[in-house]
Chain A
């Protein structure tokens, strides 16, 4: 394998970094060199140490050993402020804007403006920075009202305002629609072409291969591959990420025709409004049959979030008719906010489903037994049924949610981004469970922001655009067009 660049020319070089948290070795021997003029992809499974390595690069964490060089000079980054002062900026998965402030105010705040706040200059600065990297962002928009994609742009502008020459982005495309993701990646290319470097953390192989110049792969805290993107392929990257013996099966789509099966979920001219009274779904008519997976696709905010909640019986229709079965499972997109009580035990979290309808006493011994069965049946790694949910890894938390929602064989299951943020092995396990449930005759509605996942699992596909649903063929191009409103 070739090593891209040589140390002195790298804008940012991390050499043989080790870092442990308690008894866990997050990083053992990780190295990465971000050359000027390149987009660099940092690949790895969940827990491989990608984010830890980048937090060290951003001065949020101190390495146990190893060297950090900025522009060839050895440095010890004491804090993010220190990193920013040296031209290293980072965009986290969770955004850090002040919701009540405008874009221009947020940028001024981040760039450490002292003394008087000059709105005109602040606005001009935002326009100038946007121009530089080639995207648009309204300086007067209030941060709280921005879409996720726009919030991400704001975070990038904030970093640029501090004069960042190395921009680190943690899973930047995870929250974006395909078109938005393409815009972002084009923007990063443009940023890099001015002699800067962008490092994106990702676990999407095709993204790394199509966008990056250089690729670094981490596995169990070690750099297992460091190469030019042109000098590698998906197979080599997979091996570097998972090790030689990886036998992760990609689920195959089922084929059985099921037109005769019973329609379990049915809507007619369904209209839905969100918490703020904004109409999100404008007249959707669809049916989901037993034994099929209805895939839903759509760009962020197209109404799929509300549609899924309604189909799961969690949101009342504003108008139109909605028929859902009595027993229906729901896997919401944000498990920490909507699915789990992190301080509760696993058994208590299992009991949470149906808590609203429960009467009388809680039969804890029985609930704990059932939880134990679910843990073994779904291969959930936990220290016991009384362990707090917060002690589980993200993948195991999500498996617990799915296990709970599938427990008791409900008639239908609605899942919103069930594999987001999970590593390849956990994703495959979850997808297998979904397919098993379908084959057992359950009606399943699946939304994923990863269009390829929907295409791989769904039997039929509807695409949401501006609150309306269109059924399209299971075809990447057709779906992509429909997501942008071009039917």
Chain B
């Protein structure tokens, strides 16, 4: 699907979703027009709304969206961006809190690097379980999300709690551990630049490097990658897990050093889950993630203003987001446009055939054929005959 066409489809779907939102609000007896106006005001309505709200919100969504998109492209169903983000946030907080003035301007850089490393490590657990024991990462990464969440809960009531021991949160980070503002007087920080740069870099790596090519090949057909390409499938998926986790961990570290400045349990309003919607809406294309990350950032920023101004619950926006993803999957299935998306949409029909490999058998643990996008095994498939 060409770029322009995909953009047109997303635009069409977005306006459909917004129309549906207007109708729903209207039927519920709310002032729908005012709500949508507030949604606009809070997202793009003013320079302040754009920079301090939309772009700030978009930053973690773009980074975690990239984490999910890259993983899904490799057939790695990493649902754990949320946990990896929390791991990154917690370690960045620890680095910031224990930093001494002597470490100087490097402190924030170290905090980000350590946060990314922690995210990668968190993802490594799921990768190891998959490669060694064939544990489905769909399950393990979700479970690790909860482990991360409760670990943060423990940290902010234990080792990292603020000195008065009243609130379940850490002390604010010292200034030297904070990301500098990108625009003075706004909340926009340099993390946004990292996110904007990461997207084209990810695109370029997938498209133009041997490693990225292996990732795409393994995602599309692990059998051919192994047999025809002699690609080490486990090594490739391990690498993808680590990069994906690092991106999500970086998102967490940036959120902490650029936005919240303190660690607490709800440091992420579910960025890692929204990221799945961001990635899917972008057709798993890193450049698309940049656009859909901004779109979702705007929606979430606008939601808050909608709640303030029009008394419409902010969660309504989550319904819109879900609607967007469903529509995109439906379109992908219908058009057969993006193969990976179409397979995701058709997961129900594909997954049931995983076990049907009586003759050939899969390599290793046979693991890489399992997952939402698994292709029907083609053991007996012979070229079109008759």
- Residues from chain A with a CB closer than 8 A to the CB of B379 are 94, 334, 337
- Check A341–B220 contact: CB distance below 8 A: yes
Scoring B213, B225, B339, B386 by chain A CB atoms within 10 A of each residue's CB, the highest score goes to: B386
**Minimal beta-carbon separation of A123 from chain B (angstroms):** 21
Q: Which residues of B contact A309 (CB under 8 A)?
A: 227
**Contact residues in A for B356 (Cβ distance below 8 Å):** 99, 144
Segment of B22-30, B165-173, B358-366 in the binding face: B358-366
Indicate if the CB atoms of B383 and A46 lie closer than 8 Å.
yes
Asked whether B221 lies within 8 Å of A314 as measured between CB atoms, the reply is no
CB-CB under 8 A from A143, the residues of chain B are 358
CB <8 Å contact, B382 and A420: yes
Pairwise interchain contact A93-B385, C-beta atoms closer than 8 A: yes
Tell me which of A50, A175, A338 contacts B228 (CB under 8 A).
Answer: A338
Set of chain B residues within 8 Å of A275, measured between Cβ atoms: 361-364, 366
Residues of chain B within 8 A (CB-CB) of A364 are 208
Asked if A484 is at the interface (CB within 8 A of a chain B CB), the reply is no
Residues of chain B lying within 8 A (CB to CB) of residue A339: 224, 227-228
| B58 CB, min distance to chain A CBs, angstroms | 30
Q: Name the CB-closest residue of B to A401.
A: B228
Contact mask B350-373 → A, CB, 8 Å, 1/0? 000001111111111010000000
| Chain B residue with the shortest CB-CB distance to A275 | B361
| Contact between chains at B381 and A334 (CB < 8 Å) | yes
Q: Are A343 and B339 in contact (CB under 8 A)?
A: yes
Residues in chain A near residue B163, CB distance under 8 A: none
Give every chain B residue within 8 A of A337 (Cβ-Cβ). Answer: 221, 223-224, 360, 377-379, 381
Distance in angstroms from B361 CB to nearest chain A CB is 4
Q: Which residue of B lies closest to A92 (CB)?
A: B380
Are A341 and B221 CB-contacts (below 8 A) given A148-B380, A360-B210?
yes
The one of B209, B221, B358, B386 that contacts A144, using a Cβ cutoff of 8 Å = B358
Contact of B386 among A51, A352, A422 (CB under 8 A): A51
Most buried by B among A313, A336, A337, A361: A337
Would A276 and B361 count as touching, CB distance under 8 A?
yes
**Inside 8 A of A33's CB, which chain B residues have their CB?**
none
Q: Is A431 an interface residue (CB 8 A)?
A: no
Asked if B230 is an interface residue, CB under 8 A from chain A, the answer is yes
Q: What is the interface size of chain A, counting residues whose CB is below 8 A from a CB of the partner? A: 75
Contact B225 A360 (CB under 8 A): no
Return the chain A residue nearest B380 by Cβ: A94
Q: Would you give the 0/1 interface string for A321-346, flagging 1 where the beta carbon is closer than 8 Å to chain B?
A: 00000000010101111111111100
Docked-complex contact B383 and A394, CB < 8 angstroms = yes
Query: Which residue of chain B has the shortest Cβ distance to A348 in the bound complex?
Result: B213
Closest to B231 in A: A356
Interchain CB contact under 8 A, A338 and B227: yes
Residue from A42, A144, A336, A357 with most neighbouring chain B CB atoms (10 Å): A336
Q: Which of B213, B340, B360, B364 contacts A355 (CB 8 A)?
A: B213
Residues of the B chain whose Cβ atoms lie less than 8 Å from the Cβ of A398: 383
- Chain A residues with CB below 8 A from B207, complex form: 362
Given contacts A275-B364, A334-B360, A337-B379, contact A50 B385 (CB under 8 A): yes
Q: Which residues of chain B have C-beta atoms less than 8 A from A174's C-beta?
A: 382
User: In the complex, what residues of B have CB within 8 A of residue A335's CB?
Assistant: 383
Query: Is A49 an interface residue when CB atoms closer than 8 A count as contact?
Result: yes
Q: Is B101 among interface residues, defined by CB-CB distance under 8 A?
A: no
Interface set, chain B 333-359, CB cutoff 8 A to A: 339-340, 355-359
A49 to B259, CA, bound (A): 65
Q: How far is the CA of A353 from the CA of B227 in the complex (A)?
A: 9
Given the known A-B contacts A46-B385, A171-B385, A420-B382, are A355 and B209 also in contact in the complex, defined by CB atoms under 8 Å? Answer: no
B229 pairs with A356, CB closer than 8 A:
yes
Closest Cβ neighbor of A405 among chain B residues? B228
Count chain A CB atoms within 10 A of each CB in B214, B230, B361, B385 and give the residue with the most: B385
In the complex, whether A47 has a CB less than 8 A from a CB of chain B is: yes
Please state if A170 and B385 are interface contacts (CB–CB under 8 Å).
Answer: yes
Determine the residue in chain A with the shortest Cβ distance to B362: A275
Tell me how far the C-beta of B113 lies from the nearest C-beta in chain A, rounded to whole angstroms: 25
Q: Is B217 an interface residue (CB 8 A)?
A: yes
Q: Which residue of B lies closest to A390 (CB)?
A: B339
Residue numbers in B under 8 Å from A421 (CB-CB): 382-385
Complex Cα gap A372–B339 (Å): 24
A223 and B225 CA atoms in complex are apart in Å by: 42
Question: A44 an interface residue at 8 Å Cβ cutoff?
Answer: yes
Contacts of B31 in A (CB 8 A): none
Q: List which A375-399 residues lie within 8 A (CB) of chain B.
A: 393-395, 397-398
Which of B214, B228, B232, B366 has most chain A Cβ within 10 Å?
B228
Q: List 5 A-B contacts (CB under 8 A).
A: A52-B386, A144-B358, A275-B363, A339-B228, A340-B224
Give 5 nearest A-B pairs by CB, closest first.
A394-B383, A50-B386, A51-B386, A358-B210, A421-B382
Query: Interface of B with A (CB < 8 Å)?
Result: 207-210, 212-214, 216-217, 220-221, 223-232, 339-340, 355-364, 366, 377-386
Point out residues on A near B: beta carbons under 8 Å.
42, 44, 46-54, 93-95, 99-100, 143-148, 151, 170-171, 174-175, 201, 203, 218, 274-276, 300, 305, 309, 313-314, 330, 332, 334-344, 348, 351-362, 364, 393-395, 397-398, 401, 404, 420-422
